[in-house]
């Protein structure tokens, strides 16, 4: 009998598809990378998700985040992504947390019942805390390194963090993880040299039509530039790694 995942089942088999259906994937960071991780997983047959992000969809997210449209600007990212998941698979179970992940919120947001954790967080301190806790709890985790200021998706690679190069975020993470005694971590990173973003002028605080004008803005040169086809590819690579790890477990 044909179903929405019949063509996936042809590749991974009934047992593999059932493993995906029973898995619970927690995605921390529902942005350029995280949304495409979720998209790839729900279209692969994963039915249980935990989504964590404290932000709302912004006008500037439209260029790269799959849940961002004119209609969703101003809405919580986790709720918009939940609705998209359910449109694809109404049988899916989605838990959402509109919260910032940090050491204080970690006990509420992390569970030993997670089959896999995705680190698609921007803040280094939060990334480090999440990775360390997952290692201590023996939860499989994959981490996204910097996808901003890049134009070539073909230079993305999967590697252990201690075998990465070029990526400035990966360099910081290698140093901090060594200090914490973490010897291995699967990551997706780019070997492309970062491009220096151009100053396009203007003040985000006065020009942006998003509801969050009251937030403290920084010079746009300090914000990474981005395109649609690098974070998305990074997210889909992460989804593929999770699928392969789960069906082969």
Stated pTM of the model: 0.92
pLDDT surpasses 50 at 48: yes
User: How far is residue 63 from each of residues 4, 182, 225, measured CA to CA in Å?
Assistant: 28, 35, 11
Domain ranges of the chain: 5-248
Q: What is the mean pLDDT of the chain?
A: 93
Q: What percent of the chain has pLDDT above 70?
A: 91
Give me the pLDDT at residue 201, please: 52
75-114 confidence digits (pLDDT tens)? 999 999 999 999 999 999 999 999 999 999 999 999 999 9
Taking Cα atoms as reference points, which of 108, 88, 75 lies closest to residue 45? 88
Cβ–Cβ < 8 Å for 27, 3 = no
Kindly tell me if the per-residue pLDDT of 226 is higher than 50: yes
Query: Any idea which fold 5-248 has?
Result: Rossmann fold (3.40.50)
Tokens of 8: 């996936």
How far lies 41's CA from each of 23, 163, 210, in Å?
Answer: 10, 26, 29
pLDDT single digits (tens) 111-138? 999 999 999 999 999 999 999 999 999 9
Query: Residue 227: phi, psi to the nearest 5?
Result: -135, 170
pLDDT at 56 over 50: yes
* Model pLDDT, residue 1: 80
Give the span between the Cα atoms of 66 and 43, in whole angstroms. Answer: 14
């Amino acid at each position: 009998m044909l179903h929405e995942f019949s063509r996936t089942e042809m590749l991974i088999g009934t047992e593999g598809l059932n493993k995906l259906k029973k898995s619970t994937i927690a995605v921390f960071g529902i942005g350029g990378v995280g949304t495409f991780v979720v998209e790839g997983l729900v279209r692969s047959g994963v039915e249980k998700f935990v989504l964590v992000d404290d932000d709302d969809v912004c006008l500037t997210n439209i260029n790269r985040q799959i849940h961002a449209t004119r209609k969703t600007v101003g809405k919580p990212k986790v709720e918009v992504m939940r609705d998209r998941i359910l449109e694809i698979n109404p049988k899916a179970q989605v838990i959402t947390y509109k919260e910032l992940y940090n050491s204080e919120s970690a006990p509420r947001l992390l569970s030993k019942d997670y089959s896999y954790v995705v680190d698609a967080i921007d803040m280094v301190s939060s990334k480090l805390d999440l990775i360390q806790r997952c290692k201590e709890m023996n939860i499989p985790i994959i981490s996204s390194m910097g996808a901003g200021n890049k134009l070539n998706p073909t230079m993305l690679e999967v590697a252990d963090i201690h075998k990465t190069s070029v990526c400035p975020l990966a360099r910081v993470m290698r140093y901090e993880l060594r200090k914490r005694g973490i010897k291995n971590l699967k990551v997706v990173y780019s070997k492309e040299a970062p491009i220096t973003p151009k100053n396009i002028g203007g003040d985000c605080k006065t020009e942006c039509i998003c509801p969050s004008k009251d937030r403290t803005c920084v010079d746009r040169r300090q914000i990474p530039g981005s395109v649609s086809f690098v974070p998305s590819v990074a997210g889909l690579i992460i989804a593929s790694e999770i699928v392969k790890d789960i069906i082969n477990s």
